[in-house]
Amino acid sequence: MTASRPNSADVVLVGGGLANGLIALRLKALRPELRVLIVERDASLGGRHTWSHFATDVSAAIGDWLSPLIVHRWEGYEVRFPGHCRDLTTPYLAITSDRFHEVVSAVMGEDCWTGVDVAALDETRVTLADGRVIEADCVIDGRGPRSSPSLALGWQKFVGLEVELTAPHGLDHPIIMDATVDQLDGYRFLYSLPLSPTRLLIEDTRYSDGAALDQDALRADITAYAAARGWTIARIERQEDGILPIALAGDIEAHWRESRLPQVGLRAALFQPITGYSLPDAARLADEIATLPAVTSATVRACVEGRSKQSWHERAYYRLLNRMLFKAAQPGRRYIVLERFYRLSQGLVERFYAGRITLADKARILIGKPPVPIPAAMAVLSERSVFPKDEHS
Ligand SMILES: Cc1cc2nc3c(=O)[nH]c(=O)nc-3n(C[C@H](O)[C@H](O)[C@H](O)COP(=O)(O)OP(=O)(O)OC[C@H]3O[C@@H](n4cnc5c(N)ncnc54)[C@H](O)[C@@H]3O)c2cc1C
């Protein structure tokens, strides 16, 4: 490899995924004096995703600046369980990778580098696979999730097919959980987003102990689900799939000792512990970074590390629920935990997803006939039950 003359920038965003794309938008809006470079190894930004969130997950101000990215908005959604079905009126919104690429690349102009692999990075230098070196005051690592010995995780695995049907499906809002299906490989549900009168994104999701994903089997299960709903698939337009982390326990201090860089997104353990979704956290973090008095590797690292640790501690209760779901409930009966949860008030459900539950909400979620055996629940009360710290320190 031959290194050409060093390029330089104020901020280099390594990885053009969700977290760094949102940081790019906020830096361009609030700090136009900075030269911000985004470097993505794929041909486009944002991979192959449909990122959804509830309107109540983010503040109105964040909702405003996210609006150019929103491709679909529905005024409510539905859940289905063997014991009950329910419509909720919380608006649900979706961003597609295509729109994300279009908006972020237009804002970044020639400082959006796609098809460029980063080989190495530290706090002041980014070395590209072709040997070029970029020097910067601030280098932000947004290369997506990394495995960490400091976190104990379960897995939410899914395959989604965007399908064109031969006739209208008749849905006017998403079904975000249809758990009236066979409970295979842990908690299983189907997720259907109506993208047009004849187009659906249908995902088959499993909350499982292991991270293995049999894509062929899930594709076949989606086709069978569509047939059972009376939907005839004319064409499969696109596939997306994922294996998302579900936090059970861990040592967040040790996680941050594993790297000296400012890390963002899933890499920073900034995700909703139950869903593995990171969009609301990423949006809030983008605002925080763009309003720092100075944007350097040191200031961004301090900001993200602080936010990540604070969120981790605030979300201990979610990890307890996850341990009950993964470790105390029998795999085929995990759906009962969610079925019961969805009998609670809409306000509580909204606060739960947004990470703003109150003490009363916490009590309300656990009060009543427990959906898991009490001895099994008692056994997972402590994080040490699944993550003995002494073995990891
Ligand atoms: C299919 C799918 C659907 C999801 N749906 C939702 C959802 O509905 N709502 C939600 O909130 N969350 C969702 N998530 C979870 C999570 O929010 C996403 O995974 C999100 O994209 C994570 O953001 P990130 O910035 O951490 O990583 P990513 O968005 O994965 O970005 C990482 C980027 O870094 C690039 N990269 C990696 N290494 C290099 C390198 N060496 N050089 C250059 N570039 C590199 C990658 O190509 C990638 O573009 C979904 C995840 C998946 C996989």
Backbone φ and ψ for 374, nearest 5 degrees, come out as -60, -45
Q: Are residues 202 and 284 in the same domain?
A: no
Q: Are residues 194 and 210 in the same domain?
A: yes
Q: Are residues 142 and 277 in the same domain?
A: yes
Q: pTM of the full predicted structure?
A: 0.93
How many CA atoms, within 13 angstroms, populate the side-chain half-sphere of residue 203?
23
Within 8 A by CB and 6+ apart from 221, the residues are: 184, 204
Q: Are residues 42 and 122 in the same domain?
A: yes
What Cα–Cα distance (Å) separates residue 3 from each residue in 121, 124, 132, 244? 15, 16, 5, 37
Q: Are residues 107 and 38 in the same domain?
A: yes
Q: How many domains would you assign to the chain?
A: 3
| Residue 142 · residue 238 · CB < 8 Å | no
**Stretch (H or E) spanning 306:** helix 297-314
Residue nearest atom 14 in ligand 1 by C-alpha distance: 277
Cα 16 to Cα 211: distance, rounded to the nearest angstrom: 25
Pick from 210, 232, 247: which residue ends a domain? 247
CATH number of 286's domain: 3.50.50.60
Query: In testing the pocket of ligand 1, which one of 13, 25, 49 has its CB within 8 Å of the most ligand atoms?
Result: 49
Pick from 273, 297, 314: which residue ends a domain? 314
Q: Are residues 272 and 145 in the same domain?
A: yes
Cα 63 to Cα 250: distance, rounded to the nearest angstrom: 31
State the Cα torsion 355-359-360-362 to the nearest 10°.
60
How many CA atoms, within 13 angstroms, populate the side-chain half-sphere of residue 240?
17
Pick from 221, 247, 273: which residue ends a domain? 247
Ligand 1 atom with least separation from CA of 119: 41
Residue nearest atom 13 in ligand 1 by C-alpha distance: 277
Ligand 1 atom with least separation from CA of 20: 25
Q: What is the pLDDT along the chain (393 residues), one digit of tens a residue?
A: 333 345 899 999 999 999 999 999 999 999 999 999 999 999 999 999 999 999 999 999 999 999 999 999 999 999 999 999 999 999 999 999 999 999 999 999 999 999 999 999 999 999 999 999 999 999 999 999 888 888 888 888 999 999 999 999 999 999 999 999 998 877 899 999 999 999 999 999 998 777 788 899 999 999 999 999 999 999 999 999 988 878 888 899 999 999 889 999 999 999 998 888 999 999 999 999 999 999 999 999 999 999 999 999 999 999 988 888 877 777 788 888 889 899 999 999 999 999 999 999 988 887 766 666 767 777 777 777 766 665 554
Q: What six digits make up the tokens of 249?
A: 């326990």
CA angle at 366 for the pair 364 and 367, rounded to the nearest 5°: 65
Q: Are residues 52 and 162 in the same domain?
A: no
Whether 288 is covered by a domain: the verdict is yes
Whether 15 lines ligand 1, by a CB cut-off of 6 Å, is: yes
Q: Are residues 29 and 137 in the same domain?
A: yes
Whether 82 is covered by a domain: the verdict is no
Domain of residue 230 covers 151-247
Q: Are residues 37 and 125 in the same domain?
A: yes
Cα 254 to Cα 231: distance, rounded to the nearest angstrom: 49
